[in-house]
Amino acid sequence: MSREADLDPQDAFDLLRRGEIRMLDVREPHEWANGHPEGADHLPLGDVTADAVPDDRPVLTVCRSGRRSGQAADRLSSTHEVRNVAGGLTAWAEQGLPLVDDAGQPGTLG
**What are 3's strand-pairing partners?**
82
DSSP β-ladder status, 81-84 and 59-62: parallel
Known catalytic residue: 69?
A: no
Phi, psi at 5, each rounded to 5°: -60, 150
CB within 8 Å of 42: residues ≥ 6 apart: 24, 25, 27, 29, 32, 36
Quickly list DSSP for 26-43.
-S-HHHHHH-B-TT-EE-
- Among candidate residues 45, 62, 63, 91, the one labeled active-site is 63
Coil, strand, or helix at residue 16? helix
DSSP code, position 47? G
Which residues does the annotation mark as catalytic?
63
